[in-house]
Amino acid sequence: GQNIDQPTEMTATEGAIVQINCTYQTSGFNGLFWYQQHAGEAPTFLSYNVLDGLEEKGRFSSFLSRSKGYSYLLLKELQMKDSASYLCAVMDSNYQLIWGAGTKLIIKP
């Protein structure tokens, strides 16, 4: 079967750095997406990785290792508004997104 694993919840301090990991086992691979979802709101796109390596976009970076079935989202200079759930999703061989359950990130002052 297809599986996406990410931690259920993480806590970090304002101004610090946090890394949210995602491991996956899917039927084929056509890229990995990270979305941010604030409580009661829609998921919003953060990043897309299809090749190995690190993609940096402002305070957010996303890393992919296809051989290890592993990705992480790195958030720097954390702000209170970064408190949200972060969803990892893999596009499989049928170009369908397989979603993780999300990691709830709690930022403390």
Per CB under 8 A, residues contacting other proteins are 4, 8, 30-31, 33, 40-45, 48, 50, 87, 89, 91, 94-97, 99-102
Which CB atom, from 76 or from 104, has the smaller least distance to other proteins?
Answer: 104
Which CB atom, from 95 or from 109, has the smaller least distance to other proteins?
Answer: 95
CA separation (Å) from 16 to 21, 29, 65, 69? Answer: 17, 32, 24, 27
Q: Which residue carries 């290792």 as its tokens?
A: 65
Residue 29 CB, nearest distance to other proteins (Å)? 11
Which CB atom, from 47 or from 78, has the smaller least distance to other proteins?
Answer: 47
Q: How crowded is residue 67: how many other Cβ atoms within 10 Å of its Cβ?
A: 7
